[in-house]
Chains A and B, each alone.
Chain A
Amino acid sequence: MTVMDRADLLSLYRQMLLIRRFEEKSAEMYALAKIAGFLHLYIGEEAIAVGAIAALRPDDYVISAYRDHGHCLARGSDPGRVMAELFGKATGLCQGKGGSMHLVDLPKRFMGGYAIVGGHIPLAAGLAFASKYQKQDLVTVCFFGEGAVPSGQAHEAFNLAALWKLPVIFICENNRYGMGTPVQRAVALYENVAEAARSYGIAAERVDGMDVLAVRDLMRKVVDQVRAGQGPYFIEAMTYRFMGHSMADPSHGHYRSKEEVEEYRKRDPLVVLKETMLSQAQCSESDFKELEREVGEVVMAAVKFADESPFPDPASLHADVMVED
């Protein structure tokens, strides 16, 4: 086996660990009523955001659905400002007007989280349309769950993207459940949801979404193709959400068993990468301890920043409804 780039793997691991610990802390803060509303955690799916975004340039567009913390953090957003947004604080990315499901970080080209299933997929086609129109060699990456694949808006976007060869990469995070409905009860071609895109002539490939290196390898190839103008691409990343759909439900229940969750947890993306790092990249337990310590500090600092930040002034209620001339 070849020795892999230690620093590179440590960086990937750190990003996934940051998302994991951030999400765990978010759940804690929800229990303490510091965070309200809907909160959808990305725990278990970290390898997809981190692996995919690692293959992008800073000026490429990223857009997501409502389970969006992981994508935003992987894009490099400040954890403090993300947490402050979850707390509804004035210092949040969106000044407290978006919340968990609607994170936006324009300087990072994170174009938002959207909470109507399938509704952001045409937006992704539009971002890609704009870069093609302006002759910019940008790609747009659009994350969504397998639950969005049967939606009409997804299909309309697939058709337009294929028809006009738009530089967009659709990444389906197939975590096997749309809320409590398993994919086999929601998608006719559930064994191969990528057929939805292939039927429009979009190239598609499945990847192990628990393996950050596999995701990044595939994405590097795909990004090159899409950037070169070969049209859209669809990636089906097989994953599993370790927690409930939102904070309103437990990790297992009537719709899936504890045993099933435990079985998938054996393929925890953090564990998968750690094993590779220990065996092939000369990493040791002390490296992981150091990462835990450093990431723990970042997350604690994020909570502290969020907690100490002011709530928005009610006078800001009407600001930004319209662009004022």
Chain B
Amino acid sequence: MLLSYREALNQAMREEMRRDSRIFLIGEEVGYYQGAFKVTKGFVEEFGPQRVVDTPITEAGFTGLAIGAAMAGLHPIVELMTMNFGIVALDQIVNNAAKIRYMSGGQLSVPLVIRGPGSAAHQLGAQHSQSLEAWFCHVPGLKVIAPATPHDAKGLLKSAIRDHNPVIFIEAQLLYGTKGEVGDGEYTIPLGQADVKREGTDVTIVAYSKMLLVALEAAEQLSHEGLDVEVIDPRTLKPLDLQTIVTSVRKTGRLVIVEEGWRFCGLGAQIAESIYSAAFDYLDAPIARVTGEDVPIPYSRPLEDAAIPDVPRVVAAVKSMCGAA
């Protein structure tokens, strides 16, 4: 069935909320407004305001409240209007959600999903355009997911909701309207499993969230120049499915990592380190990274474009690595 990414998320939450009354949705504008990006369209009508809870603009407060509710046995889904606002709730996410199980010696758990769009959209300015996944991945106790396709979004969100841990689920504003085939009926996708989105033999590209679309387009262009690119979407950023990437690198001998986040201490640095440790002998060239520039994301269109990886930059990185530049 052809669905938008937005509709896939809506279906995932709707199916799960029908299945389990402990699940509730909480966040700014999730109810009567139908979601800032209309992801929760129809929810308050179906589930009522007790389970679709509109909040004041207090991310620390309602994220903390959701964590407390999870400690008491509920399964909250927190919608952050954008992941940028997660910074306001970072104390709750890092100091409470991620640590409560460990600090309590396993007595407490926090089954919780915190979801919302990350990364840049169209000229939203520096405070609304950030890719913060590396921050969340750095913290022990959190799982982090960043799906790129409607099919993955639905299956992974359902798994995230069923997980017993705090899960950060990063969407993208520019993905909400994208469409794709979604499996019929009930299905889940296990967390921690990468997916080979395009098979190839010459070079491996690892890319996630909307950078997957950039990578796939680059791979298509490169195919016309005789380069056979394999594209892997980790989908779950933590725990990372290293094995799938290693298997690919053993075949291709070359790895390019594409991420929208800032370069310094970015997720790609960690992936590169892991691959150097696990598959150094199979590499024919140093790992290349195509990343966001280390600047606050600027407003002006040409500046914003310059700050974010695009198809030409990915193509150039692959060609350079293959000696075809």
Chain A residues with a Cβ under 8 A of chain B:
61, 63, 92-98, 102, 104-106, 111-112, 114, 116, 119-131, 133-134, 152-153, 156-157, 159-160, 163, 319-323, 325
Is A130 a contact partner of B91 (Cβ separation < 8 A)?
no
A133 touches B105 (CB 8 A): no
> B191 → chain A, closest Cβ, in Å?
9
Chain A's closest residue to B97 (CB) is A123
**Complex interface: chain B residues within 8 A of A94 (CB):** 103-105, 107
Contacts of B70 in A (CB 8 A): 126
Q: How many interface contacts (CB-CB < 8 Å) are there between A and B? A: 145
**In whole angstroms, what is the CA distance A129 to B61 when docked?**
12
With A126-B67, A133-B74 already in contact, the answer to whether A156 and B105 are too (CB < 8 A) is: no
Q: Does B277 contact A (CB under 8 A)?
A: no
Cα distance, A242 to B268, chains bound together (Å): 53
B300 lies within 8 A of chain A by Cβ: no
Given contacts A61-B72, A104-B104, A325-B164, contact A123 B61 (CB under 8 A): no
A321 touches B102 (CB 8 A): yes
A129 touches B104 (CB 8 A): no
Minimal beta-carbon separation of B170 from chain A (angstroms): 19
With CB as the reference atom, state the residue of chain B lying closest to A90.
B105
- A157 nearest CB neighbor, chain B only: B61
| Interface residue? B274 (CB, 8 A) | no
Can you list 26 residue pairs at the A/B interface with Cβ under 8 Å? A95-B106, A98-B105, A102-B103, A104-B103, A104-B104, A105-B107, A112-B100, A114-B95, A122-B61, A122-B62, A122-B63, A122-B67, A123-B67, A123-B68, A125-B64, A126-B65, A126-B66, A127-B72, A130-B69, A130-B71, A130-B74, A133-B69, A134-B74, A152-B60, A319-B106, A322-B165
Q: How far is the CB of A315 from chain B (nearest CB, A)?
A: 15
Picked from A96, A123, A157, A159, the residue with its CB within 8 Å of the CB of B71 is A123
Task: Classify chain B's interface size.
Answer: 35 or more
A-B pairs, 9 with minimum CB distance: A126-B68, A122-B64, A156-B61, A130-B72, A94-B105, A123-B68, A95-B105, A323-B164, A104-B104
A125 to B67, CA, bound (A): 10
| Bound-complex Cα distance A127 to B55 (A) | 17
Q: Which residue of B lies closest to A97 (CB)?
A: B105
- Tell me if B56 is interfacial: C-beta within 8 Å of chain A: yes
Q: Which of B63, B68, B102, B140 has the most CB of A within 10 A?
A: B68
- Measured between alpha carbons, how far is A160 from B64 in the docked complex, in Å? 11
